[in-house]
Amino acid sequence: MKRATVGVAVLAALLLGYAALRAAAYRTAAGRTDPAPSAAGVAPPPTGVAPLRPVPRPVLPAGGSDRVKITIRPATGRPAAPAPIAASPGRPRFPWTRTPETCETLRAWAARIEVNSTDATLTEVLDIICSAAGIAYRFVGECRKEEKISFHAREMMTENCLRLLVRQYGLVCDVGADGVLVIGPEEVVPVNEPLKAARGLERAQRLKSGAEKFAAELAREEQKMTEALRAERTDLEVEGATLADAIARLRVGTKANILLHGSLSSSPAPDPPRRISFRGGNRTLDEVLREVAALAGLDLVFESGVVLLNKAEEVADLRRRNEAKSAHIAELLARPVAFAGGTVEGYDLSGVLKAQTGIEVVVDESVWNREAALPVAPGARPLGEALDDVCGRSGLQWRLLEDVLYVF
C-alpha cells in the first residue's frame, strides 16, 4: 500500500513538471508572456483585447497536420525596440514612434517559412502558420475561409507568404493596432497608420531601391527568374492528367517555387479540371512550364520569387495595371517642389513635401530630431531631383513604396 502511495506521488510530480514545461514551451515558441494554453490548447485573450480566433498551441519548427506541412526559420539580429532619440526642447514630438509591439510583429513577419498544403482550408493553414510564428489573427467581413485549396511556398518571408496565401481567397491582411493580424476584404480591413509607417520605414531601409525603379525592378525580377528556369532541365510525361498533378510532378526535383492560383486549385473546383497530355524529355523548365500553361489557357507571372500560374486574361490585366503603376510613379516624381530658403528642418521636411506634392511623407526619427537643418538648393525642380539633392547633401536616402515617400 505504501509503495502504491509513493508511486502515485511520483506520477503526480511528473505530470506537474510536464505541465510547467509545456507552458514554458508555449511562451518561448510564440514569443508571448500571456497565460499558457488551457487543456484544450487555447490561450485566453490578453486583457483589454477583443476575443480572437483560437490559435492551437505552437508546433515545432517543422510540423503541421496531415494536409499542411511547414518549416519555419525565425529571423535573428533584430532589436526588440530602438532606443528613443532625445528631441530638442520645443521640437514637435515624433509622430511614428516605433513601439516594442511593432518590432515584435516585424520580427515575426521576417521569419523564413516553407509551406506545403494539400486540399486544406484557409483556417487550417493559418492556424498552423500563425501558431508556429507566434502571430494571433482574426477575420473581418465576409471570407471564404473554409474553401479548400492547395498552396505551396518555398523559403520566403512569412509576411509575403501570408499575403500571397490570403490573396488566393480574394482577401488582404494587415496588422491591427493590437498587433493582431486582421484578414478580410480590402474594403473592411482597417489600416493601422503608425504601424504602417514603422513597417514601411523598415522595408525601405532594407531595399536597394523603391517604387521609383518599379519598372526596372519588375523587368529585373522577371529576367532573373526566367534565367533560373532556363538553367534547370526536366522531364515531364503526362497523359490526361489534371493541371495540379502536372505541376506537382514538375515541383518534385526542381528548385522553382511553382504555385497555381487559388481559383485554380480550390476544392471542390469551380469548373471540371482540364486534362492535359504532354511529353517532353530533357527540356528547360521554362519551356515546359510555358507550354503546359498554354495547354491549360494559363500564363506565368513572377511575384516575390514565386512562379504563379493564372488565367491568361488575368495575367494580361495584371501587366496592364503594372504599366499604369509605372506611369503613375513617373508622374509623382515629376511633380514640382520648391524650397524657399537654403535650409529645411528635418521635422518640417515631410510637411513641406506633402503640402506641395500631395504625397504622404514619413521620415526616420533620426531625421526628425536632427539638430542641424538640412541644406537645400532654392528654386523649383521635379520631386525626384529635389530628393536626390537634399539626401545627397546630408547623407540620407529615400524610397517611394506604395505611394508613400520614406526619408532616412
pLDDT (tens digit per residue) in 193-242: 877 888 788 788 877 666 666 666 677 788 888 998 999 998 888 898 88
User: How high is the pLDDT of residue 271?
Assistant: 54
The per-residue b/e assignment along 343-361, b for 16 or more CB within 10 angstroms, e otherwise, is ebbbbebbebbeebbebbb
Give the fold, CATH level 3, of 335-407.
Phage tail protein beta-alpha-beta fold (3.55.50)
Q: Write out pLDDT tens, residues 87-99.
A: 556 778 888 876 6
pLDDT reported for residue 257: 85
pLDDT for the residue 102: 63
Averaged pLDDT for residues 245-264: 82
Share of the chain above pLDDT 90, in %: 29
Angstrom CA distances, 343 to 109, 303, 338, 339, 354, stand at 38, 41, 12, 8, 17
pLDDT at 275: 84
pLDDT in tens, 361-387: 999 999 999 988 999 988 899 999 999
CA atoms within 13 A on the CB side of 27: 9
Q: What is the mean pLDDT of residues 186-196?
A: 86
How sure is the predictor about 342, in pLDDT bands with cuts at 50, 70 and 90?
confident
First to last CA, the chain: 74
The CATH homologous superfamily for domain 219-322 is: DotD protein (3.55.50.60)
Look at residue 309 and tell me whether its pLDDT is greater than 60: yes
Across the beta sheet with 298-303, the strand order is 258-260, 306-311, 298-303
Q: Where in the chain is the domain with CATH 3.55.50.60?
A: 62-78+93-206, 219-322
Name the 3-class secondary structure at 372.
coil
Helix, strand, coil percentages for the chain (3-state, nearest 5): 40, 25, 35
Q: What one-character DSSP code corresponds to residue 52?
A: -
Say which CATH topology domain 62-78+93-206 has: Phage tail protein beta-alpha-beta fold (3.55.50)
Per-residue pLDDT at 386: 93
pLDDT value at position 34?
Answer: 37
